[in-house]
Structure 1
Amino acid sequence: MKSFKGRKKILLLGIILIFILAYFFVPTVNETLNHIFSLLSSMDVDSVITYIRSFGPWAALISFLLMILQSIAAPIPAFLITFANASVFGWWQGAILSWTSAMAGAALCFFIAKILGRDAVLKLTNKLALEQIDVFFERYGKNTVLICRLLPFVSFDIVSYAAGLTSMNFWPFFIATGIGQLPATIIYSYVGGMLTGGARLFVTGLLILFALSAAAFLLKAIYNNKHSKEEKQ
């Protein structure tokens, strides 16, 4: 069993190494990824829509890959891509695409954490964000995944990584993710499909503000929790 896990670790590290080498030594790959990160970091839904549409018949595949890339490496809210999918493909088709691609991204994050461990996860995320979700796992155990998926302000990607660091098996994680993620995906897709221009920009800004406010609240809760433990000691 250990030997099998060791082989999986070597294989995953090999794949990651190939991507890193491609990024630094293949100009096309470097330019494409830099453009994508810049695009997602701009928080401009219209620019994401234009980018996805530019691929014509390959647009759905590109969107799928964008969601997975966002899951692994970019600390960008996934609802930007969900909004874009709803505009490009229609709200219910976009919802299906966003849900399936988010599930694939969640599964990949889970296995990266499970195989490579906490040190690797910290390089892809950050210690503070991971500690936020650790608090949830300490309090709610395996129900954490479902609870966090139902809370739109909790980082989708961090939960996937954190779950992979626990003793939780894949299928309970995957099922909880699928059930918990579905309501938010439907709502974001419907909103993204119905709203345009300034209205969509306003809603996007509200969601980002809400996420930042919730993150500040969680940080305060973590600080208070640590302070309480130190006093007890």
Structure 2
Amino acid sequence: MSKIIKAKHTSFLLSGIILAILVFAYFGLPSFREFIDFTVKILINGSEEYTKEYFKEFGVWGPVAIIAFIILQMFLIFFPSWLPVIIAVRAYGFWWGILIALTGVVLASTIGYYIGKSFKGAFLNKVIGEKKMEKMDFWISNYSFGSVVLFRISPFLSNDAISFIAGMLQMKFKKFMLATLTGMVPLSIAIGIFSEDISKLKDGLYWIGGVGIIAYAIYIYIDYTKRRKKHNSSS
């Protein structure tokens, strides 16, 4: 198997390995299984005050574990990106939970960006193809900020993939991080609000994702119209 194919499937391989380890630990270690079951039960059915008291027992390691999980989630493609936000908010309250989640997102995005940045040039041309690379270069050059915002604000798009892609296509880091926060801050706040009532969370996520996609489509249309008018006036 070539280096290119290996690199292309690294995230899937790591996801499978990590998932296998977690499954083995869950079914092979009774104490780990009891801890997971009890924690999930508290997060889903426990009162807000009881949930906070439970996580206080972990001390500083509670927030550290959530941040570590967000970073690890880059390679856990099976887990939804909004899950750690819900856990953080229910465990540490609205504002502290959002701050913990955003800290994890910033660290994970930075790591993903620089991993992507290490794969460039000929590697991208071979994996993606020259024609697609030209289109993606145009997309990043003209709509990079909006694209990152869309991927961040939509709970159903691959949050982690956009970090790798932005790094691969040499998007400026400051611009990438600003776009990341522009999308993640409102998403985290919205998830924090909806997570207070788990039964409403699903509908809330659909609304958030739908509004984000519609807003981005409007942004693309307005920008395209401006570019066409500018091109017609100059010709």
TM-score by length of 2: 0.55
Contact 2:140 2:171 in 1 (8 A): no
Structure 2: distance between partners of 1:146 and 1:120: 26
Change (3 A) 1:145 1:48: farther
RMSD: 4.4
Deviations along 1:13-51, whole A, 9 cap, x unmatched?
Answer: 9xx9xxx8xx79xxxxx7458658xx9xxxxx936948x
Structure 1: distance between partners of 2:123 and 2:203: 32
Shift of 1:184: 0.3
Change (3 A) 1:31 1:69: same
Structure 2: distance between partners of 1:163 and 1:149: 12
Structure 1: distance between partners of 2:111 and 2:42: 23
Change (3 A) 1:151 1:31: closer
Q: Which runs of 5+ in 2 are unaligned?
A: 1-6, 27-32, 34-38, 45-53, 214-235
Structure 2: distance between partners of 1:35 and 1:136: 43
1:154 and 2:157 equivalent?
Answer: yes
Match of 1:91 in 2: 94
Change (3 A) 1:120 1:208: farther
Q: Which runs of 5+ in 1 are unaligned?
A: 1-12, 25-29, 40-44, 216-233
Task: Return the index of the structure with the highest Cα Rg.
Answer: 2
Shift of 1:70: 0.7
Matches within 5 A, 1:67-146: 67-117=70-120, 134=136, 137=140, 140-146=143-149
Contact 1:71 1:102 in 2 (8 A): no
Structure 1 outlier segments of 4+, above 6 Å: 118-121, 208-211
Q: Percent identity?
A: 18
Shift of 1:67: 0.7
TM-score by length of 1: 0.56
Shift of 1:203: 2.3
Structure 2: distance between partners of 1:110 and 1:156: 12
What is the number of residues matched between the two proteins?
170
Alignment match of 1:164 (pick from 161, 167, 170):
167
